[in-house]
Amino acid sequence: ESVINRIAAGEIINRPSNALKELIENSLDAGSTSISIGIKDGGMKLLQIQDNGHGIRTEDMHIICERFTTSKLQSYEDLSTIQTYGFRGEALASISHVAHLSITTKQADSDCAYKANYIDGKLVPSRPGGGSSPEPCAGNNGTVITAEDLFYNIPSRKTALKNTRDEYIRIFEVASRYAVHNSGVAFTCRKVGTPKADLNTQKGATTITNIRQIFGAKIASSLVEVQRSDKHLEYEFKGYVSSATHEMHKSIFLLFINHRLVDNTPIKRAVESLYTSILPKASRPFAYLDLRIKPQNVDVNVHPTKREVRFLNEDSIVGAIVDCIHTKLLDQNT
């Protein structure tokens, strides 16, 4: 049974950046305004995330890493209307099957923090002979989640991910995209032991400020705002795209659907071909798109590791987004 769980978990959590994405979403769900990420060896040795959110109730700490344990789903009907990121209750469980996981958490009305270690979904004693319940300790309000030795029990996966520099780049990409999308939250991301954070956004900074900090002044100063909605097609989108004033050689997409970082190949292809067709020298797009779709219309049943999502009225909505960007770019150049 444990091997089956491990294989399943290794498919949900397939690399460090993917674990980080789940952990960031949990921190955001907990109402955090500050999220700090610490990394060793591209997240393979250590992946740590500290937030100042509402924390976890001590009595819930036993079950938090069991599969399908979620505080975010009250009834079956919620499945279609759920607004938060997570609803599957599988992320922490999966991480505990492929890494050494520890959680320290403190709710604001608690006198102290509690810490627990988990292996294969179960809370385990932190030292030989210790009890299997969370241990009181010092800590700030919020939650610190530490995953160590990722894939220690899946040697083939560990070998496949030995380029830690590459894994760190992916981690930075995920963290910085969430930082752009959540300008109300201060994000930091650093390699443990290095004095300077690679990502360091301020709470309440504007979206443009965050884009400038992460992607550079050239891109930031070329951005134009786009926005459109349609009651009939049941979508709403806004965002920023690069204009003709800045030639890009590589496209950069930050696509959020209902606040989840996703991929949607049709949108990407359509926006890219718009840029090649109307801008000089085959310029490529920078596009940060914040798309909201009625939750019922998003296909949430795709495999959890797949960033790719599908949604209802996809052709029409993609067409409308491209049309909106097209109009805006033409305005810019006349």
Contacting positions for ligand ADP (CB under 6 A)? 22, 26-27, 30, 51, 53-56, 64, 69-72, 86-93, 143
What does the alpha-carbon distance between residue 139 and residue 120 come to, in Å, rounded to a whole number?
25
Least CB distance from residue 78 to Mg ion, whole Å?
Answer: 15
Least CB distance from residue 53 to ligand ADP, whole Å?
Answer: 5
In total, the chain counts a number of residues equal to 334
| Residue 42: other Cβ atoms inside 10 A | 24
Least CB distance from residue 280 to ligand ADP, whole Å?
Answer: 46
Binding partner of residue 41 among ligand ADP, Mg ion, none, CB cut-off 5 to 8 Å per kind: none
Nearest-CB residue for ligand ADP: 86
The answer to whether residue 86 forms part of the interface with Mg ion (CB under 5 A) is yes
Binding partner of residue 92 among ligand ADP, Mg ion, none, CB cut-off 5 to 8 Å per kind: ligand ADP
Binding partner of residue 262 among ligand ADP, Mg ion, none, CB cut-off 5 to 8 Å per kind: none
Beta carbons within 8 Å of 276's beta carbon, 6+ residues apart: 282, 283, 284
Binding partner of residue 294 among Mg ion, ligand ADP, none, CB cut-off 5 to 8 Å per kind: none
- What is the footprint of Mg ion within residues 8-27 (CB under 5 A)? 26
Binding partner of residue 88 among Mg ion, ligand ADP, none, CB cut-off 5 to 8 Å per kind: ligand ADP
Contact 199/176 with Cβ under 8 angstroms? Answer: yes
Alpha helices in the chain (DSSP H): 2-12, 16-29, 78-81, 91-98, 155-160, 164-181, 207-215, 217-221, 265-278, 314-332
What does the alpha-carbon distance between residue 35 and residue 27 come to, in Å, rounded to a whole number?
7
**Between 62 and 218, CB nearer to Mg ion:** 62
Alpha-carbon distances of 166 from 47, 131, 159, 215, rounded to whole Å: 15, 39, 13, 18
